[in-house]
Amino acid sequence: MVTNSCGYTVWPGILSNAGVAPPSTTGFMLSPGESRAVAVADGWSGRMWGRTLCEQGSSGAGFACTTGDCGTGTVECSGRGAAPPATLAEFTLASVGGDDFYDVSLVDGFNVPVLVAPANGSCPTTDCPADMNAQC
Provide CB contacts within 8 A for 16, sequence distance 6+.
22, 23, 44, 45, 46, 79
Closest CA to 11 of 71, 46, 53, 56: 53
Domain extent, residue 79, equals: 2-134
Dump pLDDT digits (tens) for 32-91. Answer: 999 999 999 889 999 999 999 999 877 666 899 999 999 999 999 999 999 999 999 999
- What's 119's domain CATH number? 2.60.110.10
Give me the sign of the Cα torsion angle 30, 49, 52, 28.
negative
Count structural domains, the chain: 1
User: pLDDT digit string (tens) for 78-118?
Assistant: 999 999 999 999 999 987 788 889 999 999 999 999 999 98
Torsion-angle region of 121 (φ positive above 0: left; ψ -120 to 50: alpha; else: beta): left
DSSP string across 13-71: EEEEPTTS---S-SB--B-TT-EE-----TT-EEEEEEEEEEE--TTS---EEEES--S
Instruction: Tell me 107's DSSP state.
Output: T
Q: Rounded to whole angstroms, how far apart are CA atoms 42 and 4? A: 24
pLDDT of residue 121: 72
Whether the full predicted model's pTM is greater than 0.85, yes or no, is yes
